[in-house]
Amino acid sequence: MTTLPTADTPAAGPVLCLGAEMTIAHAAAHRDTLADALAAASGDLQLDLSGVSDFDSSGVQLLLAARRSLRERGRALQVVAASAAVQDALQLFGLADLLDAPANA
């Protein structure tokens, strides 16, 4: 797994880059990374998933949990870039809105 936090931009919030596989085999590591990012972020959280090569229902669950956690705090989750694997899975699960949501939604 490659996790590369990038620069924090005041208007949009931090961008967290998650790479490799977002599958059941890597769910715990990604969960911890997302939890750390959620705790550190003072605003919305943007995810760059363009480097994700494999994405299953565990990845979907992680995104939904992060979105729920942020919404409870009046903040938002936005996927700013997504690989074909992520796009296909989100379409399959009827969650394409995660790809189109504005940062302040």
pLDDT at position 11 over 80:
no
- Enter the tokens of residue 38: 């959620």
Please say whether the dihedral angle defined by the alpha carbons of residues 35, 23, 3 and 72, taken in this order, is positive or negative: negative
The model's pTM is 0.80
CA distances from 42 to 2, 13, 71, 93 (A): 23, 8, 13, 29
pLDDT, position 76: 92
CATH class of 3-100: alpha beta
pLDDT, position 10: 43
In this predicted structure, which of 12-21, 50-59, 74-83 has the lowest mean pLDDT? Answer: 12-21
Q: Which strand (E) or helix (H) includes residue 65?
A: helix 57-72
Helix, strand, coil percentages in the chain from 3-state DSSP, rounded to 5? 45, 30, 25
The angle that helices 27-40 and 57-72 make with each other, rounded to 10 degrees, is 20
